Structure 1
Amino acid sequence: MVVLVTGANGQLGQAIQSISGKYPDSSQYSEQAQQIDFVFCSSSELDITNLENCQTVFSTYQPHFCINAAAYTAVDKAESEPANAFNINANGAENLAITSKKHNTILIHISTDFVFDAYFLDGIAYYDREFRLPLKSNLGLLETDVPFPSGIYGLTKLQGEQAIQSTWEKHFIIRTSWVYSQFGNNFLKTMLRLAKERDTISVVNDQIGTPTNAVDLAEVLIKIIQSPITHHPSRFGIYNFSNEGVCSWYDFAKEIFNQNKISITLNPIPTTAYPTPAKRPAFSVLDKSKIKNIFGIEIKTWEESLSSCLNQM
């Protein structure tokens, strides 16, 4: 089985590479599991914004699955570079869907909690600021909740989802949140760096969500690929994945310092005290019931997964 991974030098791409040596692993699905031959492509090797390049690479490797880990993820910069964000997140996703359809490749596309603009009002969580629609699940945002992004990044990621859905039915769209790991640049690494440079750090405490260890996400993607039910038409569609639990960015930072035994003054501040070009969702907890029930996936708590990541570092 050939699995093509785009964005190989990104955080998720590196996370997949870090565990790729474990496969084939038939422990979960016995004889149904196949050996996986991974093909990792950086943006210089596979430019998803170039349809001809996509078709050439797919023709060369004939992948059974494509994991699209390539994305424009500079949330604030996207506000001043909307064309670049659209070209990668929307046009690039459509190119992969067109190419996947041509080669009968199952496309696994990574999306984001930023497709929602959820918030709290009088103790109730709403997932759509314009129409004030309350959450349908007390476990968080559902795959069936209607997206309504507030910024360019979220909008272009939603456009990418829609392009895939209208182009090629054999797809999995995995929405995730607050991704970190021992790879690339992320909140975890920023906190550890700032702790070496400062005695006091202020972090927002009114944005609520769940951290996601990129290695855990990588493991789940491979479990989906190896599952004997993956090719069933009813299984394609949108799924949520993050680690379990709920916290604020302040809570996340506090746990990072606690687990590292770092003594530092950490101040909770409101979002209004830390303005950014792009607006962040005030609430982005994802309900993972669907992916757990369909694929039988057990998910670690974010605290447990943070510990695992720090041990790897």
Structure 2
Amino acid sequence: MVVLVTGANGQLGQSIKFIANKYPTIQFIYTDYYEMDITNIESCANAFLKYKPQFCINTAAYTAVDKAESEPEKAHLINCIGSKNLAEVCKENDTILLHISTDFIFDGASKTPYLESDLPNPQSVYGQTKLEGEIAIQNTWEKHFIIRTSWVYSQFGANFMKTMLRLASERDSLSVVSDQIGTPTNAVDLAEALLTIIQSSITHHPSLATFGIYNFSNEGQCSWYDFAAAIFKQKELKMDLRPIPTSAYPTPASRPAYSVLDKTKIKNTFNIEVNEWKTSLVRGINLL
């Protein structure tokens, strides 16, 4: 069984590599921009011709949320056109596509966890281009799993957890936004969920009704301030941590004020047990 992973040098791609030895029946092919440029349909077609994957996990994305506001064309090229190209080559090769999307497709106005069926209303270029990518996939190839996630971090790459630990080594006090509520997601847990979906698909040959959109994050909810506090507590770091409102920390891109995702669908469909975010944070920090 061949699983092709795009964006292999990102934190999710590296998290898949981290757990790959637990799946000896799967041959993983890891590609980066230089080997397979998802914005180039011929590059995608050549890679699929070479490797003949049964599954493709698309972790490649333009994720610089604030920079996207000044680079909308580049964000659209990677997040929308790139996703469409992958869907087209997956369709040509009858390859099942697993694609990573984001809580940024929502406006954050909800007071209860978002369902997969809730109406998207992105408030940023990043969120808009990720939604366009979802739509492009849905309109191109029916055998897809779109996984929406949030606040991804891990022992790999650049992320909030590692930024907080770096800042703790540079300063004594820190102000962190306390009125944006969501759920941290350990990328290793997300990787496990993706491979659970693949294994289920190998075993059960999913019906078209099984394909579609799913939410995955860790369980529970917190603010960025709470997340930072938990990081410092786990590392036993003394930090003068101060909560501030979003208005005190303006950014080019608007963030959802509330983006907790309801995981009922993915848990019930694939029998996935989801870890509480603080539990996964402890594991993530211990792997640094």
TM range (shorter): over 0.9
Which residue of the partner structure matches residue 27 of structure 1?
Answer: none
**Aligned match for 1:202, one of 153, 160, 175:** 175
Regions of 4+ moved over 6 Å: none
2:139 pairs with 1:166:
yes
Which residue of the partner structure matches residue 45 of structure 2?
Answer: 55
Which residue of the partner structure matches residue 269 of structure 1?
Answer: 244
Structure 1: which amino acid aligns with 2:76?
A: F
2:273 pairs with 1:298:
yes
Structure 1: which amino acid aligns with 2:87?
A: A
Deviations 1:243-262 (A, max 9, x none): 00010000000000001100
Deviation at 1:231, TM superposition (A): 2.4
Structure 1: which amino acid aligns with 2:2?
A: V
Residue correspondences, number: 286
2:11 pairs with 1:11:
yes
Structure-2 separation of matches of 1:230 and 1:157: 28
Structure 2: which amino acid aligns with 1:166?
A: N
Structure-2 separation of matches of 1:161 and 1:47: 18
2:5 match: secondary structure: strand
**Aligned match for 1:79, one of 69, 73, 82:** 69
Specify every segment of 5 or more residues in structure 2 that has no aligned partner in the other structure, as ranges.
none
TM-score (norm 1): 0.90
Q: Contact (CA 8 Å) 1:230, 1:236: kept in 2 or not?
A: no
Structure-1 separation of matches of 2:48 and 2:177: 43
How large is the Cα RMSD of the aligned pairs? 0.8
Which residue of the partner structure matches residue 152 of structure 2?
Answer: 179
Deviations 1:82-127 (A, max 9, x none): 000000000000000000000000000000000001136xxxx2xx
1:304 match: secondary structure: helix
2:123 match: secondary structure: coil
Structure 1: which amino acid aligns with 2:285?
A: L
* Overall identity of the aligned pairs, in %: 64
Structure-1 separation of matches of 2:30 and 2:144: 19
Structure-1 separation of matches of 2:261 and 2:153: 16
Structure-1 separation of matches of 2:63 and 2:205: 28
Structure-2 separation of matches of 1:280 and 1:2: 37
2:235 pairs with 1:260:
yes
Structure-2 separation of matches of 1:297 and 1:13: 20
Deviation at 1:311, TM superposition (A): 1.2
